[in-house]
């Protein structure tokens, strides 16, 4: 059962209690959902989603952004969603190691989560975990996704500001990402912008974003950074603050809530269905030569 005192200590900002509560939410310990229902109403609109293709330098960028926020006297929670081990579903990459500069900093809370097979670059309980952190005394919550391509559009339903990180070499990839990542960004970052053709890439990105500008009240910023050298990060922080301070329209607010509700309902309805169980049930009919996929799924 969830401990009321543990939960209250977490909401007061005790890092050990927060870490413990996240584990209890991950493992769906009895009582966790009642605690979530007791969270304060309202949304503080402080979640920053960092997404983009693998190799774009998202973790280095997050490391630099933490430094910018800390310099401004802010408290930050960082959720790094890593690929899962196919054997135990644990995180393969340890962001506690990659972000080791901040591991013991009093104003920074870092937690690595595994995708646990989720295709959207996120963790199955990311909404619940983010809701907990939103109720804690943090100024910003950064969620860094795995980097798996177009399916990462899930981050748009979670984050109040979505930052899409790209590199100059992306080139033709812009076309393939246009229907996914290209349409969810509040801010574009062209990282590793010291590489050849960076300026040409930025120009082409602006040209492609032209039609999108006409459908938005605000222009989508494009920020050049060299995260490994801490360049451009102050400008990126300022753009993020601008997006977060911009009042969400009722339509955007309702969109975010509907996306989150749909995700949670879907997860609850699928809760009792496991692939291992499906395999064993399928084997019964398949081995007898009487298996029909569409007749089989009708029972669900």
On whether the CB atoms of residues 55 and 167 are closer than 8 A, the answer is yes
Asked if residue 62 lies in contact with residue 76, where contact means CB atoms within 8 angstroms, the answer is: no
Kindly report the pTM of this predicted structure: 0.83
Maximum Cα interatomic distance, the chain, rounded to a whole number of Å: 67
- Residue 281 lies inside a defined structural domain of this protein: no
Residue 295 within any structural domain of the chain: no
Q: Is the domain of 7 the same as that of 73?
A: no
Would strands 76-82 and 140-144 be described as parallel, antiparallel, or unpaired?
Answer: parallel
> What average pLDDT does the structure give for the chain?
81
In a domain, 121, yes or no: yes
Strands 187-190 and 161-166: parallel
Q: Are residues 175 and 248 in the same domain?
A: yes
Give the domain extent around 7: 1-38
For residues 104 and 71, membership in a common domain is answered with: yes
Per-residue pLDDT, 182 = 65
Q: Can you give the pLDDT at residue 97?
A: 53
Q: Name the least confident of 9-23, 91-105, 177-191, 204-218.
A: 91-105
- Residue 30 in domain: yes
288, part of any domain: no
- Give the CATH number of the domain where residue 90 resides: 3.40.50.300
- Counting the structural domains of the chain, the total is 2
Q: What is the DSSP letter of 226?
A: B
Q: Are residues 133 and 4 located together in one domain of the fold?
A: no
> What is the average per-residue pLDDT within 56-65?
91
Residues 107 and 14 in one domain: no
| Residue 16 resides in a domain | yes
Q: What is the pLDDT of residue 250?
A: 77
pLDDT given for residue 6 in this prediction: 93
Residue 228 lies in a domain: yes
Average pLDDT over residues 112-126: 64
Query: Among 38-47, 90-99, 103-112, 262-271, which is the least confidently predicted range?
Result: 90-99
Q: Do 240 and 123 reside in the same domain of the chain?
A: yes
Task: With beta carbons less than 8 A apart as the criterion, state whether 163 and 51 touch.
Answer: yes
At 215, is the pLDDT very low, low, confident or very high (cuts 50, 70, 90)? Answer: low
Quick one: pLDDT band at residue 142, thresholds 50, 70, 90?
very high
Instruction: Assess if residue 274 is contained within a domain.
Output: no
Do 36 and 131 touch, CB atoms closer than 8 A?
yes
Answer yes or no: is pLDDT of 256 > 90.
no
Do 4 and 140 fall into the same domain? Answer: no
Backbone φ and ψ for 265, nearest 5 degrees, come out as -65, -45
Residue 87 has what pLDDT? 39
Q: Are residues 67 and 154 in the same domain?
A: yes
């Amino acid at each position: 059962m969830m401990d009321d005192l543990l939960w209250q200590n977490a909401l007061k900002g005790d890092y050990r209690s927060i870490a413990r509560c996240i584990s209890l939410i991950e493992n769906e310990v009895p009582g966790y959902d009642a605690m979530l229902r007791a969270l304060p109403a309202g949304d503080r609109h402080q979640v920053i989603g960092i997404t983009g293709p693998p190799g774009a330098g998202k973790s280095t960028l997050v490391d630099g952004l933490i430094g910018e926020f800390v310099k401004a006297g802010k408290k930050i929670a960082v959720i790094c969603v890593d690929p899962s081990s196919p054997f135990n579903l644990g995180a393969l990459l340890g962001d506690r190691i990659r972000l080791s500069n901040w591991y013991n900093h009093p104003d920074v809370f870092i937690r690595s989560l595994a995708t646990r097979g989720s295709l959207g670059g996120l963790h199955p309980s990311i909404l619940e975990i983010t809701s907990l952190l939103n109720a804690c005394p943090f100024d910003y919550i950064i969620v860094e996704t795995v980097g798996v391509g177009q399916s990462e559009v899930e981050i748009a339903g979670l984050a109040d500001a979505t930052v899409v990180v790209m590199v100059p070499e992306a080139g033709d990839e812009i076309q393939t990402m246009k229907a996914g990542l290209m349409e969810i960004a509040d801010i574009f970052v062209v990282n590793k912008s010291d590489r050849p053709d960076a300026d040409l890439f930025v120009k082409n990105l602006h040209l492609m974003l032209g039609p999108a500008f006409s459908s938005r009240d605000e222009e989508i910023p494009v920020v050049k950074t060299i995260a490994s050298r801490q360049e451009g990060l102050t400008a990126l922080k300022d753009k993020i603050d601008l997006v977060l301070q911009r009042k969400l329209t009722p339509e955007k607010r309702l969109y975010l809530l509907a996306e989150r509700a749909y995700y949670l309902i879907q997860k609850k309805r699928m809760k009792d269905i496991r692939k291992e169980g499906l395999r064993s049930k399928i084997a019964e009919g398949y081995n007898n030569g009487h298996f029909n996929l569409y007749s089989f799924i009708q029972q669900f």
